[in-house]
Structure 1
Amino acid sequence: MHISSLLSILVAISYVLADPSNHHQQRGIRSEQFPKLIARETTSDLELLSRGNKAFRDNIAASDPGLLQKLADEGQSPPFLFLGCSDSRVSEGTVFNAKPGELFAARNIANQFLGADVNVQSVLAYGVAAVGVKHVIVMGHYGCGGVAAAIASPPKGQIDAANGVVQNWIEPIREIFRTSNRSEIVELRNKNAGRADIEEPKINEPGFRALVEDNVKASVRRIATSPVIANHYGLFKSRTRDSTNKPAHDVFIHGWVYNIVNGEIYDLGVSVGPPGKTIPASPFPPVPKHA
């Protein structure tokens, strides 16, 4: 963006914010109040999405021409529920080269499953009880910004609303970092002890990578012990039907980690299944020792 264009935008924004006539609009600024210059500057960004959508439609039409209509007519029955990070580099559809209808999904900062998060709880409940997913996959990724922020020192001084929300959200990861007995995490914790200026770690820092993995394991444990899964296992054990009148089915929970550098996925060896059921063999290798 040219300097002159940037200055024009800043002037326009300051004018809108300062306009007394907008005082009653405390919840936001109407799009029509921005000059057409802003629309011109952002058109190329939106065109990227338009071109992507066309490519998607063209690819589906060529590879599986009836798929979208079939899903619209018959509804969804994906075998997988994916809980991943909101990071743009780890989109489940891209990472697994998945087609529509294959992955039921929820994503949030640092792929956390928390009891207080109504959204992720409802996704799990609907996925298991109504959609009929067979595998719940928690997948973290190395270089995760949410995990890195949980290692770094909290912001100094007054925290704005946005930062406050993020800091509250990553507190469970800070707790894992504070209490873990894993050697890589203990070593990093000792190295940072007494410091108030801890920066986010580099992607290959062993303690950082270990915390990414342990955060995934924590979410797997929370899902496995959640009321939703406990209820489903109870249904499975008694072979009764759930509220949707569907027979109880096997649900397995897996913990994986994704390497954003090379696109590889590793299995953390923490899969959980119904009592007495054999865990399916993982198609992904365990985390390499050098990693």
Structure 2
Amino acid sequence: MFTTSFTLLLGIVGLVQGHAGHKHVRKRQDAPELSELLAGNGRFQAKIQAENPTLLSDLTAEGQAPPFMFLGCSDSRVSEGTIFDAAPGTLFTERNIANQFSQTDSNSNTVVSYAVAELGVKHIIVMGHYGCGGVAAAIASPPAAPVDAANGAVQSWIAPIRTLFETSTRPEIVTLRESIAGRTDVEEPEPEEPGFRALVEENIKVSVAAIAATSVIQNHYASLAGLSAEEKRAEGGPPEAVFIHGWVYDIENGQIQDLNISVGPPGVAIPPAPFSAVKQAAEGVEPAAEPAVEATVEPLQNSADSESPATICKNKCISKRRLQGSY
């Protein structure tokens, strides 16, 4: 018993000494990339303090009421806050590889549900981007077996886009597909490849159509259609109409274009997007009917004369409480 315990004690001492001899492994390492984040946060705070010093405290006190929900790609080059130069409280965001929406993805469904039912967003923006790595990977040959866990996860996620590439009838995609038919060594296409750009656009359309088909959106549209004249005149107003838009971003020049596939409640004029239209958007969701001239999409950047996100939130919260009889 004593011999066993003594042997065990010697083993523990040796292990501790062994770790002590490898202190260089724990030596502090410089990480300048982290310092850049610190500097960036400092610039952000300074800008807020100079331009709108009460914005963050107002949003904290009143909560958020963003007019937009944004579904975009996880790509680090497609940061929605930067691209739109939008203030905090403007965009309620969901991002994943290749800006996909699926009825089986509980994360995306939860974001849409909360955005519509709780936050009262007016617009859902699905924005993909040319040069998307997820879409490119769906065109390239899949990795050879055995596939590691990381590659397996990516391949599973982009499988719907690969199916879209294999079945689309859009001419640019058909041309690309036929040019690589039978090959097992297909590499990711260059960003300017027409079929690649077309697949990016078609993938956006799929997500727009999928969101429009959710029970959350369909029930919301049904509730709008079923409102009586008295309910529409009720204090605080009726529930907001929600419009779903499909846009594409060019990572090379920062330009955003509209795919002209916006969806809205039946009988409600769809506001025109303020961005120029993509020349070719031939397949997928039917283009929206010509909207009323007076309807416009709200600007993403707050001007000096517009209401701040905090003010919009406060008004919405008050209206909601009045409708519920609790204010």
Q: Same fold, TM exceeding 0.5?
A: yes
Residue 41 in structure 1 maps to residue 21 in structure 2: no
Residue 189 in structure 1 maps to residue 180 in structure 2: no
Alignment check: 8 A CA contact 1:255 1:269 kept: yes
Q: Secondary structure at the match of 2:209?
A: helix
Alignment check: 8 A CA contact 1:239 1:248 kept: no
**What code does the residue aligned with 2:54 have?**
G
Q: 1:34 Cα shift?
A: 8.4
**What code does the residue aligned with 1:267 have?**
D
Q: Secondary structure at the match of 2:29?
A: helix
Residue 137 in structure 1 maps to residue 117 in structure 2: no
Q: Secondary structure at the match of 2:30?
A: helix
Match of 1:118 among 106, 109, 124: 106
Match of 2:222 among 223, 230, 234: 234
CA RMSD of aligned residues (A): 1.7
- The equivalent of 1:85 in structure 2 is 73
- The equivalent of 2:276 in structure 1 is 285
Deviations 1:42-89 (Å, cap 9, x if unpaired)? 2x1111111111100000000111100000000011100000000000
CA distance in 2, matches of 1:59, 1:40: 31
Match of 2:260 among 269, 275, 284: 269
CA distance in 1, matches of 2:243, 2:196: 27
Q: 1:150 Cα shift?
A: 0.2
Question: Which sections of structure 2, spanning at least 5 residues, go unmatched?
Answer: 1-14, 16-22, 281-327
CA distance in 2, matches of 1:229, 1:265: 25
Residue 146 in structure 1 maps to residue 134 in structure 2: yes
Residues 192 and 40 of structure 1, relative CA distance in 2, 3 Å threshold: same
Q: Secondary structure at the match of 1:55?
A: helix
Alignment check: 8 A CA contact 1:259 1:265 kept: yes
Q: Secondary structure at the match of 2:127?
A: strand
Residues 34 and 54 of structure 1, relative CA distance in 2, 3 Å threshold: farther
Q: Secondary structure at the match of 1:262?
A: coil
| Most deviating of 224-233 and 121-130 | 224-233
Match of 1:248 among 239, 250, 262: 239
Alignment check: 8 A CA contact 1:79 1:132 kept: yes
Q: 1:248 Cα shift?
A: 2.2
CA distance in 1, matches of 2:109, 2:151: 24
CA distance in 2, matches of 1:212, 1:276: 30
- The equivalent of 1:7 in structure 2 is none
When the two structures are aligned, how many residues end up with a matched partner? Answer: 253
* Structure with higher RCO (Cα < 8 A, 6+ apart): 2
CA distance in 2, matches of 1:154, 1:205: 19
Question: Which sections of structure 1, spanning at least 5 residues, go unmatched?
Answer: 1-20, 22-32
CA distance in 1, matches of 2:55, 2:30: 36
Residues 34 and 78 of structure 1, relative CA distance in 2, 3 Å threshold: farther
CA distance in 2, matches of 1:41, 1:161: 30
CA distance in 2, matches of 1:84, 1:239: 33
Q: Secondary structure at the match of 1:250?
A: coil
Alignment check: 8 A CA contact 1:142 1:260 kept: yes
Match of 1:206 among 179, 191, 194: 194
Residues 132 and 34 of structure 1, relative CA distance in 2, 3 Å threshold: farther
